[in-house]
Amino acid sequence: MIKKKILYRIYYIIFIPLLISINVVALDNNDKTTNSLYIATYYSPTISVIKNFKIGEHDNNTKNVFAHKIDVLVNSSSKDNFTINDPKFKYKNNLLSAFHGAIGYSMAGPRVELEIGYERFAAASQQTNYNIYALSRESTMQDKKYVTVTIDNISTVSLIINACYDFINTSTSPYICTGIGGNFVRITQDSEVPKFSYKMKIGTTFKLTPEISMVIGGFYHKIFGNKYKYLPVDYPVTLDSAPQYSNACAEFDFSYFGGEVGIRFAFL
């Protein structure tokens, strides 16, 4: 229900100004503009779509996953603390720490830009367990038969090349962009997995001065592939079977979408 309300708000923020600006463009599209270099910064509240999350040791060594129960002090070396079988992996939306920046070149209609973004989706609060998970080599927890991972959040840095088109007008210009690039996805500590991705944007630019414009729009960002290999693991106990040293592999579908409000500075 909350996500539906957010979607409605994004719809009204993005598409009503867009429709108004398209009508304005239809009335007056004779103004001449010049080519310009620009930089832009955006605040981009984002809704995460993280589905079908699962994690285990590489080479299918994991038989089951258990979460550390919350009613005791954290002690990963005690197998008795991992009692939550088949834990749920859920992540919040990113409404506060979502910022993007771009540098680009506008050619009185066509526009190309290099965009960098940061997203951080914190693990949803659990009533039963901490965000520490035992990857057990047996179907039940046994001593010296597991490694652990800690997943407090899933964060990503994206680098995208966008090809855009501005429907130029004197003061209000709708735009559409499509881009391709890559993301560096962090799941566990010190794990940055590179992935290909694409992005689509639509919105409206409101010219405040010849050099400064306000941007209101929305975007969809999709990451290709659902496997994230060679994630570092922790060894709270000494393993009594090979391999003595291992890593983890996570699988999940990852995309996100949201709105963006920002300022663009042109160097005329």
Condensed to tens digits (0 to 9), the pLDDT of residues 69-91 reads 998 999 999 999 999 998 999 99
The pLDDT of residue 172 is above 70: yes
CB atoms within 10 A of CB 6: 16
Burial class of residue 63 in the structure, from the number of CB atoms within 10 Å of its CB (0-12 exposed, 13-18 middle, 19+ buried): middle
Q: Kindly indicate the confidence band of residue 231, based on its pLDDT and cuts at 50, 70 and 90.
A: very high
Give the per-residue pLDDT at 29: 42
Structure tokens given for 35: 């080519």
Give pTM, 2 decimals.
Answer: 0.83
31-55 core/surface letters (b: 16 or more CB in 10 A; e: else) = eebeebebebebebbbbbbeeebeb
Angle (CA) 199-200-202 rounded to 5° is: 145
Give the per-residue pLDDT at 33: 52
CA distances from 156 to 126, 153, 194 (A): 23, 10, 10
Mean pLDDT across 237-251: 93
